[in-house]
């Protein structure tokens, strides 16, 4: 006996699959094909796939995997096991997010709308064929009650286990006389883009110049618009396991604040820290901004008037949409500088409104271009966005150097950096310094070695431009600093362990010299370095003494008096890295089992400055 059937075909921009299971699966008369469409039908149910989209009527609905960044009902957000979006024909959410059923079970949907509002790559429709003759809305409720939980939680659609999915649907429906029809629609172009970007991004969470060109070719081949590209990129970035852990934590804190209708200062501090960790892990800031936009929508965490730089951004971009052709002018260099500084300021203040303005502009450009079949407006906007892409590329590279210890800068990376700098120099020769170098050097969370690398890089670029050095010279200078940084960490670990065990034997110069020789011998034997500079050993020794002094004397005093100024004075003058001191503080609290609210006090009292990727975390009030 035939238990189920599968049909496969292509029409318009999609590839479709039809799966049929149940008592009527053997019946070959459930579809008819015409030149520009295919119609599926069975006992009052109908689904037509044409070149333009979908027509549906009957008992059933549509479903797809939730993409990251798509708005979810609050009830779905609260349940972490809900991964899929389900829409029943004729049903909608009211203002209280309660499902309301109607008898209007007929409708149409274009492919462009389907793959924009649903999943960008893969969406499903289904209908249930039976002898039921009552009200449609009552029948829809019955079907939802039977299979709704399965459809919203099953991982089978993500895994493309179509046969298992059909079996699971039929099993949970549990109606032996009903036949189930499931239709999978796959967007050919978006699928190619999604797969290529996933394959290239996953290994190292970044794309090379050649890989970006490959993605660009796919985009052009299938005419994938920028907004859809960004949706897919964000979804892929989020699904990387290293990214997902941090983002999910961030999401849970936001969600908790929304449910309690309040955001304590401690929760702000956690959100800021997660953003910093995200940047340290080379995560795109857009993952956090997307959560902010979707979860905080309608909740006023902090009400402020729109700052001047956003007003200026809107005014410059809106000049693209003047109806009078004489008023439409190309954006000049001065405007580009203002937009870049606005982007910098938006990053610095953690303000997502700037990116929202850009997204709104993209949508408006796309709508007008499609309507008038004139893409010059879109081209004008793209020429502006190019500078933002250059900005992001530079900041990513510099942030990696400043915040990550084991990053080896290559000549290709340096050549790309200098190429982007050259484009900024055409606008203003001081723009590169003002936008990037100055902020990183003033950043409290950039380590001493990070600042040395940034300073060395900035000076080296000037020498290369003047013909006084080569790319290899700069790479060599950066490698020396990186090697010394690694050696410092190793010596620090070894010396700290010895000082912990034999503290009294380090009081005299003779005893320290013995330690120096022991550690030098171990370093050389392990081929970690050819020698250990005495100055480096002395610096490590002094730094450990400073750490000990801070933990044993200053920190208890700071906590007793709740005087954050003592801590800031020490951090500003000791030369120790702020992030490392915060790690020691956490260990101190864990070891002494102290009230964690005091640790929150230390974090709240700290002004977090600009961090890698351009994010500035606001000072706790």
HEC-encoded secondary structure of 249-288 = HHHHHHHHHHHHCCCCHHHHHHHHHHHHHHHHCCCCCHHH
Q: Is the Cβ–Cβ distance between 38 and 130 less than 8 Å?
A: no
User: Does the residue 113 lie in any domain?
Assistant: yes
User: Does the residue 32 lie in any domain?
Assistant: yes
> pLDDT, tens digit, for every residue of 336-368?
898 899 898 888 887 888 888 888 888 888 888
Q: Shortest CA distance to 197 belongs to which of 245, 242, 239?
A: 239
Q: Please state, in angstroms and rounded to a whole number, the distance separating the CA atoms of residues 373 and 367.
A: 10
At residue 213, the pLDDT reads 93
The residue behind tokens 């969370």 is 445
User: Does the residue 528 lie in any domain?
Assistant: no
Please indicate, yes or no, whether residues 131 and 241 belong to a single structural domain of this protein. no
| Cα–Cα distances in angstroms (integers) from residue 277 to residues 47, 59, 76, 373, 395, in the given order | 48, 48, 27, 44, 16
Confidence of residue 530 (pLDDT cuts 50, 70, 90): confident
Please indicate, yes or no, whether residues 171 and 123 belong to a single structural domain of this protein. yes
Of the three residues 333, 351, 381, the one that is the final residue of a domain is 381
> pLDDT, tens digit, for every residue of 155-206?
999 999 999 999 999 999 999 889 999 999 999 999 999 999 999 999 988 8
237: domain range? Answer: 193-381
Please indicate, yes or no, whether residues 235 and 183 belong to a single structural domain of this protein. no
pLDDT of residue 13 exceeding 60, the answer is yes
Indicate the helix (H) or strand (E) that contains 62: strand 60-65
User: Does the residue 443 lie in any domain?
Assistant: no
Number of H helices, E strands in the chain: 25, 15
User: Does the residue 124 lie in any domain?
Assistant: yes
> pLDDT, tens digit, for every residue of 553-610?
998 898 888 888 888 889 888 888 888 888 888 888 888 888 777 777 776 654 433 3
What's the distance, CA 324 to chain centroid?
39
User: Does the residue 552 lie in any domain?
Assistant: no
Q: What is the pTM of this model?
A: 0.53
Please indicate, yes or no, whether residues 18 and 111 belong to a single structural domain of this protein. yes
pLDDT of residue 304 exceeding 60, the answer is no
The average confidence (pLDDT) of the chain is 84
Q: Shortest CA distance to 228 belongs to which of 126, 370, 350?
A: 370
Please indicate, yes or no, whether residues 75 and 105 belong to a single structural domain of this protein. yes
At residue 607, the pLDDT reads 40
Per mean pLDDT, which range of 237-246, 518-527, 540-549, 605-614 is the poorest? 605-614
* DSSP 8-class letter at 351: -
**Cα angle at 563 between 562 and 566, to 5 degrees?**
140
Please indicate, yes or no, whether residues 177 and 240 belong to a single structural domain of this protein. no
Q: Please state, in angstroms and rounded to a whole number, the distance separating the CA atoms of residues 508 and 189.
A: 72
Please indicate, yes or no, whether residues 202 and 268 belong to a single structural domain of this protein. yes
User: Does the residue 133 lie in any domain?
Assistant: yes
Please indicate, yes or no, whether residues 70 and 23 belong to a single structural domain of this protein. yes
Domain count of the fold of the chain: 2
Q: Shortest CA distance to 551 belongs to which of 586, 577, 596?
A: 586
Please indicate, yes or no, whether residues 282 and 183 belong to a single structural domain of this protein. no
> pLDDT, tens digit, for every residue of 42-90?
888 999 999 989 999 999 999 999 998 777 777 787 788 899 999 999 9
Please indicate, yes or no, whether residues 132 and 213 belong to a single structural domain of this protein. no
Please indicate, yes or no, whether residues 241 and 135 belong to a single structural domain of this protein. no
Per mean pLDDT, which range of 120-129, 222-231, 258-267, 477-486 is the poorest? 258-267
At residue 145, the pLDDT reads 95
Q: Shortest CA distance to 357 belongs to which of 346, 370, 372, 349?
A: 346
Of the three residues 340, 364, 381, the one that is the final residue of a domain is 381
User: Does the residue 255 lie in any domain?
Assistant: yes
Please indicate, yes or no, whether residues 201 and 69 belong to a single structural domain of this protein. no
Of the three residues 187, 214, 248, the one that is the final residue of a domain is 187
> pLDDT, tens digit, for every residue of 85-136?
999 999 988 877 788 999 999 999 999 999 999 999 999 999 999 988 889 9
């Amino acid at each position: 006996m035939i238990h189920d059937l599968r049909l496969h075909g292509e029409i318009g921009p999609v590839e479709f699959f039809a799966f049929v299971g149940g008592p009527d699966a053997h019946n070959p008369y459930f579809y008819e094909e015409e030149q520009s469409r295919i119609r599926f039908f069975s006992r009052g149910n109908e689904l037509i796939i044409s070149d333009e989209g979908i027509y549906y009527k009957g008992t059933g609905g549509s479903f797809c995997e939730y993409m990251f960044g798509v708005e979810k009902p609050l009830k779905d957000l609260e349940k972490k096991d809900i991964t899929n979006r389900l829409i029943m024909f004729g049903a909608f959410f009211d203002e209280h997010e309660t499902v309301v059923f109607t008898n209007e079970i007929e409708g149409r949907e274009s492919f462009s709308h389907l793959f924009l509002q649903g999943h960008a790559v893969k969406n499903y429709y289904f209908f249930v064929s039976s002898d039921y003759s009552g009200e449609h809305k009552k029948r829809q409720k019955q079907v939802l009650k039977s299979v709704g939980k399965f459809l919203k939680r099953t991982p089978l659609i993500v895994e493309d286990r179509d046969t298992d999915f059909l079996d699971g649907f039929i099993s949970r429906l549990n109606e032996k006389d009903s036949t189930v029809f499931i239709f999978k629609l796959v967007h050919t172009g978006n699928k190619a883009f999604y797969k290529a970007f996933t394959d290239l991004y996953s290994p190292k969470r970044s794309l090379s110049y050649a890989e970006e060109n490959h993605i660009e070719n796919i985009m052009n081949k299938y005419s994938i618009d920028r907004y859809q590209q960004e949706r897919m990129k964000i979804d892929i970035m989020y699904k990387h396991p290293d990214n997902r852990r941090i983002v999910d934590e961030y999401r849970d804190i936001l969600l908790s604040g929304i449910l309690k209708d309040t955001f304590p200062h401690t929760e702000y501090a956690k959100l800021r820290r997660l953003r910093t960790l995200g940047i340290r892990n080379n995560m795109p800031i857009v993952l956090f901004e997307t959560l902010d936009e979707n979860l905080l929508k309608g909740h006023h965490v902090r009400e402020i008037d729109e700052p001047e730089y956003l007003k200026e951004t809107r005014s410059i971009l809106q000049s693209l949409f003047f109806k009078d052709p004489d008023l439409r002018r190309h954006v000049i260099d001065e405007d580009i500088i203002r937009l870049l500084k606005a982007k910098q300021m938006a990053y610095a203040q953690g303000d997502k409104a700037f990116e929202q303005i850009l997204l709104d502009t993209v949508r408006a450009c796309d709508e007008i271009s499609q309507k008038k079949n004139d893409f010059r407006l879109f081209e004008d906007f793209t020429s502006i966005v190019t500078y933002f892409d250059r900005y992001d590329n530079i900041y990513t590279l510099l942030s990696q150097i400043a915040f990550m210890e084991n990053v080896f800068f290559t000549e290709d990376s340096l050549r790309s950096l200098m190429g982007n700098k050259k484009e900024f120099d055409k606008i203003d020769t001081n723009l590169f310094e003002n936008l990037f170098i100055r902020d990183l050097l003033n950043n409290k969370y950039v380590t001493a070695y990070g600042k040395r690398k940034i300073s060395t890089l900035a000076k080296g670029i000037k020498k290369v431009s003047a013909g006084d050095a080569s790319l290899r010279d700069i790479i060599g200078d950066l490698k020396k600093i990186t090697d010394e940084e690694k050696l410092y960490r190793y010596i620090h670990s070894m010396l700290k362990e010895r000082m912990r065990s034999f503290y009294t034997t380090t009081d005299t110069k003779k005893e320290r010299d013995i330690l120096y020789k022991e550690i030098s011998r171990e370093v050389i034997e392990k081929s970690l370095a050819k020698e250990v500079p005495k100055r480096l050993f002395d610096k490590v020794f002094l730094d450990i003494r400073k750490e000990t002094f801070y933990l044993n004397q200053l920190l208890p005093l700071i906590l007793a008096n709740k005087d954050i100024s003592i801590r800031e004075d020490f951090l500003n003058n000791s030369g120790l890295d702020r992030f490392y001191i915060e790690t020691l503080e956490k260990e101190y609290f864990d070891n002494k089992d102290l009230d964690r609210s005091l640790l929150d006090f230390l974090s709240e009292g700290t002004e977090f400055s600009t961090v890698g990727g351009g994010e500035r975390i606001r000072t706790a009030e």
